[in-house]
Amino acid sequence: MTASAAPWSSADMTRFVQDYYNAWAGTDEARILSFYSDQVVFEVSGMVMEGKDALRVQFIRPFLKAFPGMRHHVKRMTQGPGVIVVEFTFEAHHSGAYAGQSPTGVQIELPGCGVYQYDAVRRQITAGRT
């Protein structure tokens, strides 16, 4: 018999999401990647990445270079079985090239939304899209 995972409490999920978005304010790729399963499937702006290595090379590393010191301010979270939707505001200084766009040097503030599937036992994101 397989033990089922206990659902995350609201406090557990809030802490996980805050820790996840706080990790993005730094430059530690390993810390950011620790929130993802090895087989994660992630979509950003129509680009699909499969696995941690693809996520690191195609998204995390370029994003950290383009937007150093970025901040995410979580506005609302809606949780369902194995999925959470997070509405946030993204603030950053665009100081590096990203997705073929030259750095603008401007301070940006944008609304955002992420949809994440997660493994409650391993406490990791298994799929997501923003």
Reply yes or no on whether the pLDDT at 4 is more than 80: no
Residue 27 lies in a domain: yes
Q: Could you report the per-residue pLDDT of 12-30, keeping only the tens digit for each?
A: 889 999 999 999 999 999 9
Q: What's the domain count of the chain?
A: 1
Residue 116 lies in a domain: yes
Whole domain around residue 25: which residue ranges? 10-129
Predicted pLDDT of residue 101: 87
What's the chain's average pLDDT? 91
Residue 21 lies in a domain: yes
Residue 35 lies in a domain: yes
Reply yes or no on whether the pLDDT at 61 is more than 90: yes
CATH number at residue 90: 3.10.450.50
Spell out the residues 6+ positions from residue 104 whose beta carbon is closer than 8 angstroms to its own. 94
Residue 5 lies in a domain: no
Predicted pLDDT of residue 5: 55
What is the rounded distance in angstroms from the CA atom of residue 120 to the CA atom of residue 101?
Answer: 37
Q: Could you report the per-residue pLDDT of 29-60, keeping only the tens digit for each?
A: 999 999 999 999 999 988 999 999 999 999 99
Residue 51 lies in a domain: yes
Residue 30 lies in a domain: yes
Predicted pLDDT of residue 45: 86
What is the rounded distance in angstroms from the CA atom of residue 95 to the CA atom of residue 102?
Answer: 9
Does the pTM surpass 0.85? The reply is yes
Burial 22-37 (b: 16+ CB within 10 A, else e): ebbbeeebeebbebbb
